[in-house]
Amino acid sequence: MKLIPQREPDVVVVRARERTRFRILDFDSFIVETGHGIVAFFHYIRELWQRRMLVRVLSARELKSTYEMNLVGFGWWLLEPLSMTAVYYVLINILTHRSTADPTRFLSILIPLLAFKWLSQSVVGSMGVVRANATLVTDVYFPRALLPFAQLVTGLAHFGVGLLTIPVFMLLVGVGPSWTLLWMPAIIVTQFLFMLGLSYPLSVWGLNYRNLPNLMGNILRLWFYLSPGLYALSSITNPRLQQLMKLNPLTGIFEGYRGAILTHRAPDWSLLYTAVLGAITVVLGGWYFTRREPHFGKLL
């Protein structure tokens, strides 16, 4: 059996699927089919690849119209993580009755907070990304899966500028660079993958359930406190609890960044775990997204 049948180029067939009954949480059981499920999915991916230029244009549009591409504009994005880091830093020093403050702790809090800002902004944003581009979705055809992707790229640009502050703080608290910094791209890609996997199903549900972003914002904040953001994983003394925390996908990311920048340790297996989990959710979430996508026009 051939997975992808020979087709003429440039021919697009859109066929309605047979539906049997109405399901309450599933208004939309139609897909764009150029064959059966898996074949359609492969064609969709090929189409995504053909239109990959749109990602750059979509995210550049976002950055240009909000900040006019100027670095001061990016500063606004940094304000929240920086001020929160200062608050947490003071708070932790008061609560733990430290007589001598450990300045590297500031960096240890700032790094996960920057990464988390990217995550929360993009994940909450993904729920509104289709609606925010409503005029595009109802007027032009393009693979909609590019929308959540472009949004993450926009967030990545912010995060990248945020990371530029790290060397400054490294200098201030006296942490030298190390070869482990070379792990940074791998950790960033892992985080991107993981967030993409979350974004696809959430952008579909956000369209159906408009109050979901409020709920998700709270869940994300709780998730942050349960992850080793304000504290290092090594400060958890109970070994069983520590193992349990490694099941949290954010653990690998936060500890990865912290290790690469601050403690000069290469990421451990928990990063790979997050990457594998991310890859699986991207495929499943993307699959789900493509099946719901033809319905977007009607839901707006």
Partner 1 sequence: MSTSAIRVRNVGLRFFIRSHKAPPTVHASLVRFVKHRPPPREFWALRGITFDVPRGSVMGIIGSNGSGKSTLLRVLARIYAPDEGEIRIRGKMSSLITLGAGFQPNLSGLENIHYNGVLLGLTRQEVDRKLDNIVNFADLGEFIDAPVRTYSSGMRARLGFSVAVHVDPEILIVDEVLVVGDARFRQRCAEKMRELITKGATVAMVQHNMEAIIEMCNECMWLDKGQMREIGNPYDTVKHYLEAQGLPMIAVPAEIAPAASVPDRGAS
Which residues are at the interface with partner 1 (CB under 8 A)?
8, 10-16, 19, 22, 24-25, 27, 30-32, 51, 53-54, 57, 61, 64-65, 133, 135-142, 208-212, 215, 294-295, 297-298
Residue 127 contacts residue 147 (beta carbons within 8 Å): no
Three-state DSSP at 25 gives coil
DSSP secondary-structure letter at 230? S
CA distance 176 to 263: 10
Quick one: 137 or 196, whose CB is closer to partner 1?
Answer: 137
By beta-carbon proximity to partner 1, the closer residue of 4 and 13 is: 13
Rounded least distance, CB 36 to partner 1, Å? 14
Q: Closest distance between partner 1 and the C-beta of residue 56, in Å?
A: 8
CA distance 178 to 147: 36
Of 185 and 297, nearer to partner 1 (C-beta) is 297
Q: How far is the CB of 130 from partner 1 (least distance, A)?
A: 13
Shortest gap between Cβ of 144 and partner 1 (angstroms)? 10
Give me the residue label for tokens 């190390």: 178
Six-digit token string for 193: 């993958």
**Closer residue to partner 1, CB minimum distance, 31 or 175:** 31
Instruction: Tell me which residue of 182, 191, 181 sits closest to 274, measured CA to CA.
Output: 191
**In the block, which residue shows the tokens 């997204």?**
289
Q: How far apart (Å, rounded) are the C-alpha atoms in residues 50 and 43? A: 11
Complex with partner 1: residue 19 or 221, whichever CB lies closer: 19
Which C-beta is closer to partner 1: that of 23 or that of 221? 23
Q: How many whole angstroms separate alpha carbon 89 and alpha carbon 94?
A: 9
Find the shortest distance in angstroms from Cβ 30 to partner 1. Answer: 5
CB of 53 to partner 1, least distance (A): 5
- Minimum distance of partner 1 from residue 22's CB (angstroms): 5
Taking CA atoms, 23 is separated from 26, 27, 287, in Å, by 5, 7, 19
Note every long-range contact of 56-59, with CB atoms under 8 Å and residues 24 or more positions apart, other chains counting. 56/153, 58/146, 58/147, 58/150, 59/150, 59/151, 59/153, 59/154, 59/157
CB of 148 to partner 1, least distance (A): 16
CB atoms within 10 A of CB 192: 20
| Smaller CB separation from partner 1, 70 or 235 | 70
- As a whole number of angstroms, the distance between CA 229 and CA 265 comes to 17
User: Which residue, 3 or 140, has its beta carbon nearer to partner 1?
Assistant: 140
